Structure 1
Amino acid sequence: MSSNTPTTTTPVTSLKRKLSNADLAGSHSHVKSRELKRATTVNYVYQDEEKQGSLKPLNGFVTPLLTDMYQITMAYSLWRNHRHDNPAVFDLYFRKNPFGGEFTVFAGLEEVIRFVSDFHFTQSEIEHVRSILPDCDEGFLEYLSKLDASKVSLYAIQEGSIVFPRIPLIRVEGPLAICQLLETTLLCLVNFASLIATNAARHRLACGKDKIMLEFGLRRAQGPDGAMSASRYAYLGGADGTSNVLAHCFFGVPVRGTHAHSFVTSYHSIDDLPESTVLDPNGKTHDLLKLALKYRDELEFKTTVLSELYAFLAYARTFPKGFLALVDTYDTLNSGVPNFLCVSLALHEIGYQGVGIRLDSGDLSYLSKESRKMFKKVGQKYGIDYFDKLQIVASNDLNEATINALNRQGHEIDVFAIGTNLVTCQAQPALGCVYKLVEINGQPRIKLSQESSKVTLPGRKLAYRIFGEAGHPLVDLLVIQPHHTNGDKDNGSAAHVQDEIPEAGKRVMCLHPFEEQKRVLVTPSSVVNLHKKVFDQGVVCEPLPSLSDIRTYCLSELGKIREDHLRPSNPTPYKVSVTKNLYDTLHGLWLESVPIKEMK
């Protein structure tokens, strides 16, 4: 952002949570009438102070008990029936892009890695499981007390990537019971994060690359947890800053803010401005009120609301380097903007520059254009070039459709401050990621449905993104990736045959998973393997990137996608295909699993 941005502080290094085992101390969950409260203050460390292998979830609520009850009952049944250690593979993916669009931003991976890395049941949590399963075998509780993710591996797409339906965002491999216990928490950590990031990316596209987009939704967010997640992932998806001070403290998101209507209406008379002087950059004292009234007379702004002028002067003398005024408290064009100009001229005379105005009501297209005309007229009158470029910030319950409409109408808005519709995702409340078993004991598994969109793609898979000559992605191709462990026996099925990996310059057949006639031959100019191992049996494979780095990567990837896939109206669906080998495996299992009906 330019030097004429609203007042801010320098972003700090991201803060990470460092939890102690005492976080849930004092829980006596078997006493059903008691409510658990946090007994101790949570300790935090800076990201660069965090040691590899000591990762903790960012949110204190993210524990093994942040799960659905049926995960606990399934784990108990698996343990009772000696199936808890069977090797299993699960895919976490979504079936349909949100907001009527054709792309999604993948987010939440860092929190997934942190949760899995730290996965363990505390003694108080074991006691809580005992309270909800009072008749369970003590051996199961002993099993849970020793359970961790030391036998779990995660393969994932890079966080911040542009992703599409059916492509596994995360592949989870490990003993069946713990993989099952991870399901609900992983879905919780990915669903909202990806939805917010995608919503932010869509708003970013609507605003345009040359505009500033701010997230101002804290007061309308879904509680404190939703607010922090929304600020984090809105920034990841393209927001330039937030009003949320705690998000700045924790995640290093740039923070922005000016004043509210209540600040303006709190001023009534000159008595509310007992001091009107301000020091210029050289330390000399000036009467800002006297200067502003002089310009008010010269410009013949005789009908402006004086109490509003007093409020602006009070704010300007507090922040002479960051004066940005909310101008619609009484009358935007007949009072707010003229009063702002009088104060800005006074600041200019003593060596400062005003920043701009915020519009929070009315016809934003018209008001922004008229305000810009006034800026230019006054700038020309006094020979001040930068007045042409004073910022115009717009808020007023903005959403993607409103911003697109403003673009069609024409406007002079520089900064879009988006609140409710960004952080609550009013256009769509949930993404709908699912978590499905695709392999057990080395054998592929399939879930069937009368809706083809709900049929799972079996087996261990890798996704390759195939790029065309123009440098845009053309298709994501899913290939089978068999694993050969000592216990695997090759039964001759397609799932145990190594799929051919797509290569640049080598033509490859890409098939629709359910409609055989939909197929295409593609000669890649380049190929990217989307999946990499991020967690390997208790070890985080690579250092976690900073939030700022993920955001930069996200915006870079967004720029590679063809515009027709990104457009808000009637976007072109992106192709997600399978190899012939995977197609045959899918349909072979489908036929094997469907009972043959008998007609009489």
Structure 2
Amino acid sequence: MDNLTLNTDNYQLAMAYAHFCNGTHNQKTVFELYFRNLPFGSGYAVFAGLERVVHYLRNLRFSDEMIAFLQQQPEGYSAEFLAELRRFRFTGTLRAVREGSVVFANEPLLQVEARVMEAQIIETALLNAVNFQTLIATKAARIRKEAGPESYLIEMGTRRAHEADAAVWGTRAAYIAGFDSTSNLQAGMQFGIPTKGTHAHSWVQTHETELEAFQKFADVFPESTTLLVDTYNTLESGLPNTIRVAKELERRGKKLFAIRLDSGDIAFQSKVARRMLDEAGLPYVKIAASNDLDEHTILHLKVQGAQVDIWGVGTKLITGYDQPALGGVYKLVERELHGAMEPSIKISSNPEKITTPYRKSLYRILNQSGKAEGDYLALPGETDVLRGERIKLFDPVHTHVQKFVADYTALPMLQTIFADGELVDQLPEIGDVKAHHQAQLQQFDEEVLRNLNPAIYGVHLSRQLWQRKRELIEAYGAGAHEADWK
């Protein structure tokens, strides 16, 4: 929760200084944060990072040490600007999708309404928090999907995470999206996430025999022992020694909790281990597996009949292994001009990079069965969508792709988090965020939620918003074309 005010790019402060020098630093603006493409080939993403954003904004201030550092920079910031920074606080309005929500490309996750100096300085930190945590939460949801509701998931990627903060906040994101516990004690203390652990191979190696190592560990933790059985030979040494220790615990009225497989052919070893444990009268001993797992590996292991109850997932979760960045962006959609707010648009030769102007209201359209038919972006003044009678949903690029939904509910997705710099309400506890995510999943058909070749879920524009966007594209495009010929 340290002061991360300087967790921003140099050019953010340079632009703030240029605005200050030109007297435009108090100009009102609206920015929206969103991503253009769903990660991992998923049909959806899981929004995470809001708690990190709130802590950042509440602690946003330039310390004396930061001011001294900026005085030494080659940009030559004036004394007046540095004095402005000493008084700097976030005084704007932040709207956000509820954390843990199922979200899609090209819809605002955060909406910042603030003077341009504030909105610009906070951009990098907001993207840093939301891009990383949404990526990890989405990966975690995919892993939970393949593991199934009956499996227990432990996040154990700290030692392979990019740094301590990434491990702690990544753990939180994974827990929100379906994991049950973590090996990270800091995350456990900070967020109240259950913590679990076993022992390393080094524990076995520091004893004369594997059996001695197992016995001494079980003596210390007789009710919760999980034994790592692959230090020497999983089936010929690790399992027989485990069974002996488990029987010794039974005679004391205790029960061994689990074994862990961390190498080799996990599908084969787990099936043999299950048979050996059952034949020894130990059907209650669970089997845990680790070793560079992700949703793809878990799927293949389950197809092969692996007898695994607990999955320990580390590196490929906490690093977003197969897509290490979400690619979220933060774009200006409105600005103050001559005392009035005007729409702002970015034009690009890449159609997907053309922004949708105006601050927008975001709704989820639920049919009579409570299932989501599509998300809907509208201008704030539009109220027709709230009637719930009949609505036309169409793809904003391929406009011939359309459908009508009648007797629906339009669920507002953006909530006010900060108003005029003040936190409106306390954020929900992490258990409530996790429960909200599970409730969100119930709104969607299985075709959208599946990991492989998911159905495309539409994010639609109201006709009025779509028309105004087209008008701005034509106006700016025509202006640029004319300028090219002058």
Mark yes or no: TM-score above 0.5: yes
Aligned mates of 1:524, 1:426 — CA distance in 2: 43
1:311 aligns with 2:206: no
The alpha carbon displacement at 1:501 in A equals 3.9
Does residue 266 of structure 1 match 2:206?
yes
Aligned residue number for residue 282 of structure 1: none
Deviations 1:179-210 (A, max 9, x none): 11111111111111111111111111111111
Q: Structure 2 CA distance, aligned partners of 1:470 and 1:335?
A: 55
Q: Matched residues in 2 for 1:134 and 1:577: separation?
A: 44
Alignment of 1:276-287 (within 5 A): none
Matching residue of 1:286: none
1:135–1:503 CA distance, 2 compared to 1 (3 A): closer
Deviation at 1:134, TM superposition (A): 5.4
**1:165 offset after TM fit, Å?**
0.6
The residue type equivalent to 1:448 in the other structure is I
Q: Which residue among 102, 126, 131 is the counterpart of 2:43? A: 102
Distance in 2, matches of 1:137 and 1:396, equals 55
Matches of 1:244 and 1:236 in 2, distance apart? 15
Does residue 137 of the first structure (1) align with residue 78 of the second (2)? yes
Return the TM-score normalized by structure 2: 0.95
Alignment map for 1:507-522 (pairs within 5 Å)? 507-522=390-405
Runs of 4+ in 1 over 4 A off after TM superposition: none
Instruction: Check the 8 A contact 1:504/1:523 in 2, yes or no.
Output: no
- Pairing 1:231–2:171 present: yes
2:410 match: 527
| Alpha-carbon distance in structure 2 between the residues aligned to 1:532 and 1:324 | 44
**Higher Cα Rg, which structure:** 1
SS at match of 2:108: coil
Name which of 471, 480, 483 aligns with 1:588.
471
The reply to whether residue 477 of structure 1 matches residue 376 of structure 2 is: yes
1: CA distance between counterparts of 2:75 and 2:227? Answer: 61
Partner of 1:323: 225
Q: CA deviation at 1:221?
A: 1.0
The 8 Å contact of residues 168 and 187 in structure 2, kept in 1 or not, is answered as yes
- Among candidates 215, 234, 248, match of residue 332 of structure 1: 234
Give 1:140 deviation, angstroms.
1.3
Unaligned runs of 5+ in 2: none
Aligned-partner Cα distance in 2 for 1:117–1:501? 36
**Letter of the structure 2 residue corresponding to residue 416 of structure 1:** W
Answer whether contact 1:479 1:501 (CA < 8 A) is retained: no
Query: Deviations along 1:262-296, whole A, 9 cap, x unmatched?
Result: 1112222xxxxxxxxxxxxxxxxxxxxxxxxxxxx
Match of 2:274 in 1: 372
1:20 maps to none
- Displacement of 1:332 in angstroms is 1.4
Stretches of structure 1 that go unaligned for 5 or more consecutive residues are: 1-57, 269-306, 380-386, 482-497
* Equivalences for residues 441-590 of structure 1 within 5 A: 441=336, 442-481=341-380, 498-503=381-386, 505-590=388-473
Which residue in 2 is equivalent to 1:495?
A: none
On the 8 A contact 2:388/2:410 being kept in 1, the answer is no
User: Partner of 1:502: helix, strand, or coil?
Assistant: helix
Identity %: 38
| Aligned-partner Cα distance in 1 for 2:213–2:64 | 57
- Equivalent residue runs for 1:153-172 within 5 Å: 153-172=93-112
Residues in 2 aligned to 1:203 and 1:130: alpha-carbon distance in whole angstroms: 48
CA contact (8 A) 2:257 2:284 kept: no
CA positional deviation for 1:226? 1.6
Counterpart for residue 312 of structure 2 = 417
**In 1, Cα distance between the equivalents of 2:55 and 2:202?**
42
SS of 1:321's equivalent in the other structure is coil
DSSP-derived class of the 1:392 partner: strand
Is 1:426 aligned to 2:321, yes or no?
yes
Q: Which residue of 2 aligns with 1:359?
A: 261
8 Å CA contact 1:511–1:583 kept in 2: the answer is no
Alignment match, 1:47: none
In 2: Cα distance, 1:316 partner to 1:120 partner: 51
Residue-by-residue CA offset, 1:334-387 (whole Å, 9 max, x unaligned): 2211111111111112211111210111111111111111122111xxxxxxx2
Q: CA contact under 8 A between 2:390 and 2:408: conserved in structure 1?
A: no
* Structure 1 residues 501 and 529: alpha-carbon distance in aligned structure 2, compared to 1, 3 A threshold: farther
Equivalent residues in 2 for 1:194-273, closer than 5 Å: 194-268=134-208
- SS of 1:351's partner is coil
In structure 2, the partner of 1:86 is 27
Q: Give the corresponding residue for 2:334.
A: 439
Preserved CA contact (<8 Å) 1:105 1:198:
yes
Query: Quick one: which amino acid aligns to residue 596 of structure 1?
Result: H
Tell me the SS of whatever aligns to 2:283: helix
Aligned to 2:117: 177
Moved more, 521-530 or 534-543: 521-530
Question: What is the rounded CA distance, in whole Å, between the counterparts of 1:64 and 1:360 in structure 2?
Answer: 42
How far apart are 1:470 and its partner, in Å? 3.4
Aligned residues: 479
Q: In 2, Cα distance between the equivalents of 1:65 and 1:425?
A: 26
Distance 1:505 1:136, change over 3 A: closer
**Conserved 8 A contact 1:466-1:524:** no
Are the aligned partners of 1:94 and 1:431 in contact in 2 as well (CA < 8 Å)?
yes
Q: Does 1:394 align with 2:394?
A: no
Which whole-Å CA distance do the structure 2 matches of 1:512 and 1:65 have between them? 40
User: SS in structure 2 opposite 1:402?
Assistant: helix
Deviation at 1:503, TM superposition (A): 3.5
Does 2:11 align with 1:70? yes
Tell me, in whole angstroms, the C-alpha distance in 2 between the residues paired with 1:227 and 1:401.
22
What is the alpha-carbon distance in structure 1 between the residues aligned to residue 388 and residue 120 of structure 2? Answer: 41
Deviation at 1:526, TM superposition (A): 2.3
Residues 324 and 358, structure 1, Cα contact 8 Å, conserved in 2: yes
Q: Per the alignment, in what secondary structure is the counterpart of residue 314 of structure 1? A: helix
Partner of 2:385, secondary structure, is: coil
Q: Deviation of residue 135 (structure 1)? A: 2.8
Question: 1:505 Cα deviation (Å)?
Answer: 4.2
- What is the Cα deviation at residue 524 of structure 1? 4.5
